Amino acid sequence: MLTVQEATPPAAAPAEDCSLVTRGLTKRFRGGQVAVDGLDLAVPRGSVFGFLGPNGSGKTTTIRMLLGLAAPTAGTWELLGTPMPAGMPAVLSRVGALVEGPAFYPYLSGEANLRRYDAADPAADPRTASARIGLALDRVGLAAAARKRYRAYSLGMRQRLAIAAALLGPRELLILDEPTNGLDPQGTREVRGLVREIATEGTTVFVSSHLLAEVEQMCSHVAVMRGGRLVAQGPIADLRAGEVARIRVETPDTAEAAAVLAGLGLAGVRTGDGEAGAELGSAAPERICAALVTAGVAVRGLAVQRPSLEDVFVGLTGEGFDVNG
């Protein structure tokens, strides 16, 4: 169920079914600024979980805390069912992460760059490095370009290589901070497709974004941040279930049209300049059209309007969501 934190306790899947759980996670920076405020996240195993919020809403700070790169001021968290930070050494090899873009050498090939990354991991067995690197390149679709120099890679290829670096070794959880930031539309499509593919292989993906449309296309679940606080989280399908479609009739006969809509038992009947509308509910648009025409209403246009996910967020949070951050 989708929950709005102000109204109900936070959602969600029971902790044992989750790859990532936080309870009251808080970060107050020196100087007093609270960047993350009492965050309760529950990321179901196997989900593609969008961590959505405008720039500055606390996403990167949260991700840095999850990975042990910043210490929380308060709260607890678990990765793969293991309490952190105590379990970090045991769990980190099962978690891939892309936080600040990894630095790659422009004059080395993608493969040689990954070799350097792999060699820096003390847990990785050097005898199996080639197989591991080959598999990671294959998973991100760069096998054919493995020998190409990094500087000849497109933006999308560069980001896919960064994801390959996070996928050196089998991962149960992948944490990606704004993986499409700075990419052109083609690169964005490539990375989105890759994230979906990784998820179908059973890896839970936790991915931050400030783009609502992107999360909508890529994710099964979403959590919405605003000003360091969680305002909603749950499956996107539940968000959709909360949408109320409306029927809109363009007509000079607004009063008559409104009377017909009310007569059909539709809720939320409203009239405006040259139009009348109502909530569609389970009514069939063609029946509404027929009823209007039978009643002598001059129908100039008829449309079913389904609110965007952004409209749903506005309804849930009582404020707008700036999709461009």
Ligand X SMILES: Nc1ncnc2c1ncn2[C@@H]1O[C@H](COP(=O)(O)OP(=O)(O)OP(=O)(O)O)[C@@H](O)[C@H]1O
By CB under 6 A, name the binding residues for ligand X. Answer: 29, 33, 35, 53, 55-61, 178, 210
CB 34 to ligand X: min, Å: 8
Comparison of 80 and 211: residue with beta carbon closer to ligand X: 211
2 closest CA partner among 42, 45, 57, 37: 42
Length of the chain: 325
Secondary structure (DSSP) of 13-52: S-GGGEEEEEEEEEEE-TTS-EEEEEE--EEETT-EEEEE
Task: Considering the complex, state which of residue 58 and residue 110 has its C-beta at the smaller distance from ligand X.
Answer: 58
Residue 14, preceding peptide bond in cis (omega within 30° of 0): no
Residue from 187, 190, 163, 26 nearest 101 by CA: 163
Shortest distance in whole angstroms from residue 225 CB to ligand X: 7
Nearer to ligand X, 59 or 132 (CB): 59
Q: For 240-301, what is the HEC assignment?
A: HHCCCCEEEEECCCHHHHHHHHHHCCCCCCEEECCEEEEECCCCCHHHHHHHHHHCCCCCCE
Which tokens hold the place of 247? 């029927």
Tell me the closest approach of the beta carbon of residue 182 to ligand X, in angstroms. Answer: 12
- Looking at the Cβ atoms of 19 and 60, the one nearer to ligand X is 60
Q: Shortest distance, CB of residue 29 to ligand X, whole angstroms?
A: 4
Q: Which is nearer to ligand X, 33 or 200 (CB)?
A: 33
To ligand X, the closest distance from the beta carbon of 228 in angstroms equals 6
